[in-house]
Amino acid sequence: MSDNTFASTGGETSGRGPDDYDRLFDVLSAHRRRIVLRHLADVGVASVGELADRLVARGVDDPDATIALRHGDLPRLRDARLIEYDPRSETARYDGDPLVEELLSRTRAGDRRA
């Protein structure tokens, strides 16, 4: 008997392999990236400045939040194929992912307060 707790509804895994799950868990291990994803899930598209403001509103105390987003968090989320990020326009877009939504709903970032 196999317990595939990462399978989406209907038992299919959306074409993800073990390496994909490892990358997903790695990128979602950072609280700030979960906040960014939750905000993007709520609004669809946001600027780097908006995302930095959201991090501050959620209590992330980082005077260099904008730099960290530009050069760390957003490229990592893009490389994990969770968002589209355009550094020229400084905008990020998230189209949604059922597994990511489920994981976010079970973390502090899933709390939509603040």
Q: Is the pTM of this model over 0.85?
A: no
Say what the pLDDT of residue 10 is: 36
**Runs of H (alpha helix) within the chain:** 18-28, 31-43, 48-57, 65-68, 74-79, 98-105
Comparing CA positions, the residue from 31, 48, 37 lying closest to residue 97 is 37
104 contacts 38 by C-beta, under 8 angstroms: yes
Residue 76 has a CB neighbour count (10 Å cut-off) of 17
Domains and CATH numbers, the chain: 18-109 (1.10.10.10)
Please give the Cα distance from 97 to 114 (Å, whole number).
23
- Strand-pairing partners, residue 47, are 91
The most confident of 8-17, 18-27, 50-59, by mean pLDDT: 50-59
